[in-house]
Structures are given as C-alpha cells and as structure tokens.
A and B are shown apart, each in its own frame.
Chain A
Amino acid sequence: MKNSFARIAALTKRGLKEILRDPISLIFMLALPLVMEITFYLIFHEMTSQFDMKYLAPGIVVFSQAFLTLFTGLLIALDRSTSFLTRLYVTGTKSYHFIFGYTFSVLPICFVQAVLFFAVGAVIDPSIISVALIPAILLSVVTSLLFIGFGILFGSVCNEKSIGGVSSIIITGQSVLSAMWFPTEGMSGTIMTIMNVLPFKNATNLIQNMIIGVSDAFKDVVLPLIIVLAYTIAVFTAAILIFGKKMKDN
C-alpha cells in the first residue's frame, strides 16, 4: 500500500509538471478563458443579463475545464506512443496507479482555474463575492472529474494526432450545449431535452446556481449534481476498463 501511494505521488507530480511546462496548455486552460471572461463581460454584459459576472464567471470555470480533456488525453496519448506507460508497467506500476496519477495531476489545475476566474470576476464585479464562492469552487473540482475522465478515455484510444480532434467534441459540447453563450428561451423542446440530459448544461448550472443562489435545492443542486456524477462515473468506468485493456494490449 505504501508503495502504491509512493507510485501515485510520483506519477501525480510528474504529470503536473509535464502539463504545466507545456505553454500551449497554459494558454488554453488559463489565458484563453481569462481573455474570454474579460472580453465577453465588457462587450455583452450591458446588452444581456446572461453575461453578468454571476453567470459568466461560473460558466467560464466549467468551460475552461473542457480543455482538461484535451491536455489529459494528450499526456496519455504521448505516454502510450513513446512506450513510457509500457516501461513503467514492466516495473510493477498498475493501471490504477496511472489512473489516480493522471487524475490527481490535473486536479490542482482545475482548482487554480476556479480560483482565478472567480477572483478576476470578483475584481470586475465585486457583487459576486460571498461565502457561496467556497462551495462553488469545491463543486467545480467535482465537475472537473467529468472532463478528466473524458481525457483518460480519449487518451487511451487516440494517438497524439487524433486526440485534438476527438477532444474538440467535448470542448464544442461544453461551449454549445451548456447554454452559457446564448439565451435558451425559444429553443425547441428537443434541443432543450438534449441539453438537460447531457452533463454540460447541468455542470454549468450547478456552479452558476451556487453563485446566484439556490431556491430549490433538488432542482438547482441535487439533480444537476446527480446527472454530472452519473456521467462522471460512467466515463471513468469506461476509461478504467479501456485504459487497462490498452495497457495489456501494448
């Protein structure tokens, strides 16, 4: 057990360093969402309440997490193509060491994302400052697991060339189906049903509801949390099974 903790800790530190030392990952995970947060607020917040900081900051937090899929997947795809995983597997590293290592290495980044985008949002619009920021940040760590799970899943099946394209499905999904960039009034019932059934809008609403206030605990918190967790568990289960199979196949 002690050996397992040491292996997971080593893999976590290494994964975090690998991602943070790739300037492209920092641009997409931190700089781009930050620019979007400031720009969209300045351009649109007087036109529509949808871009008020209480909606925009939580939306940006979850949107930025979609890039975790890309960079977690890229790390795994590169580790596979360079036989890095195979080599470690020979020396007794198990699939679950890798899964924990990859997951834990990305969690600090999502924490920084949440703190940064809420902090900048609070500077621009101090009205969002409240104790509700604490559960919002903590829950955003939970929603990030969904995107990390997608990253592990895609990284297990894609190579480093195809991972960008496949991950863009999730980034686009989070962008379009989260309903954060456009009003949903007047949209067809079918589209709304799809958005309500998929995890993207639920993840965004969950964090937004923390900031704007909870009127119905089940509708505003429990239901979206259950939907996001259900997808997270399903995605992680698939990721663990496929990753383990790929390790054996390699």
Chain B
Amino acid sequence: MYAIKTVALTKKYKDLTAVNALDLTVKDGEFFSLLGVNGAGKTTTVKMLSTLTRPTSGDAFVYDRSIITEPDEVKKLIDISMQETAIARNLTAAENIAFYCELNGLKKDETQKMKEYLYDKFGLNAVADKKAAKLSGGWQRKLSIALALISEPKLLFLDEPTLGLDVIARRELWGLLRALKGKITVVLTTHYMEEAEALSDKIGVMCDGRLLFCGTKEQMYERTGKSDVENAFISIVETYKTKGGL
C-alpha cells in the first residue's frame, strides 16, 4: 500500500513553477528522505502533501485520500514537525505534551499513558518541568517530534528536524528517528546528506521543482558511480544542470 502517491503534482507561483509535475510514491512504513538545494521544491511538496498548500494542478493521495477533495481525512492521518520548533514556549515540556493530548481529544488516563510513553521513548522526564523556551535546541527538537507522535499519525513529515543542532544532539535524534522506522511512514527533508544516508529506505532528489531521482541509496550509487549520498546527490544535480534540464 502506498502512503503517498502523487500524480503530476504541480505548484506554480505566478511565473515560478515551484513543483513541476511530480510523480512520486512512498510505501507504507518507508523512511523517505527528500533532498534538494535551496528552492528545489522540497518544502512546497511537503506543504502540499500536508494540505497546507493547494496544488495548482495534479493531485496527491495519502493512504488513498486526496489532498484536494479530502483534506480533512488526510489531516487525520498525518502530523508534522516543522523546521521551527513550533512548541508552546511558556509551557513546560510536560504541559506541552498534555496540551497536545487535550487537543487530540485524549482522556486523562490516556494522557498519562502517552506521557509515560514519550518520557520513556525520548527521555523527556529529565526536562519535564522545564519551560520549553528554556530547553536546549536538541531538547526542543526532541519535544517537537514527540508532540508530533501524540496524534498517532500514519505519516509523519519532518522538515529539517536537525537543523542547527550540534553533532551530538543530531546523532541522538537520529537514534530516535531510527526507532520510528517501519512503525510509521516518515518523510524527511534535510540538507544533511549523511542524515539521509543513515536513516533512509528511499531517497528523492529534487531540483527546480522536478524529481531527478527516486530510489534506494544503493540505486543512487549505481546510477552515479559514487559511494556516498553526498557525492551521488552532487553528481545527479550537476548532471541535470549541465544538460540544462531532464
């Protein structure tokens, strides 16, 4: 079953085509990384798939639900952790969790269970009573991702989840993200190639709104003759730029 299936998904802003006839599939339970230089169309793609932006043409299906005709149904299946931490600043970590639980209609005993689960999974009990604004960048990201799991989404979008984190915090977060593999479908956008290499089942490379490559990292190496994601990514993008198009 496909978690995501896009059909000629296109987004235009006046003269700019941000996403150009994107055809993409992501299987249920897959960890999919979307790579691209700035302005490649990654964020616009995620915004369309998460129903934040309406496509200009084409369509996309999240677990067979159309993002255009069934956005409310799609919203029930997804959650997102944004590039910005998007947490309630003056609430403690525990209160943030309780707030999201209440927002998702969880009862008191369910909220308590969810807290225990997230404390255990993310080690958040260490900072449970600290205001979110006072947490380090790493803890804020952990909290942000933890909050995204409260709605028990089938599909989770992670937009640059480790941006600005030090290497230790980033590796810690990788461990948490790795633990999600196979349990839910994850779509990750990142500028860190080693992150995509370490975590992904499948990688997509975008440039100028087009999907230049979509496959496993092994297929990426095979196609480019490179032995790591960073060089393979550069090779794919440079080949595209040299040719002046697909």
Contacts and interface: CB of A to CB of B under 8 A. Distances in A.
Interface string A215-250: 000000000000000000000000000000000001
A86 B103 contact: no
Most central of B78, B83, B95, B99 by chain A CB within 10 Å: B99
Contact of B103 (A18, A21, A81, A88): A88
A91 B87 CA distance: 14
A84 B87 contact: yes
Interface of B: 50-52, 72, 75-76, 78-91, 95, 99, 102-105, 131, 151
A90 interface: yes
B86 A86 contact: yes
Contact of A83 (B72, B83, B103): B83
20 contacts: A6-B103, A10-B103, A14-B88, A14-B91, A18-B88, A18-B90, A21-B131, A82-B87, A83-B82, A84-B86, A84-B88, A87-B86, A89-B52, A90-B79, A91-B75, A91-B78, A91-B79, A91-B103, A91-B151, A92-B72
A91 B151 CA distance: 8
Interface residues of A, number: 27
B91 A17 contact: yes
Contacts of B78: 90-91
Q: Which 6 A-B pairs have the closest CB atoms?
A: A10-B102, A21-B90, A83-B82, A87-B86, A83-B84, A83-B86
Nearest to B91: A17
Contacts of B80: 87, 90-91
Nearest to A94: B72
Given A84-B88, A90-B78, 8 more contacts: A11-B103, A14-B99, A18-B91, A82-B84, A82-B86, A83-B82, A83-B83, A250-B52
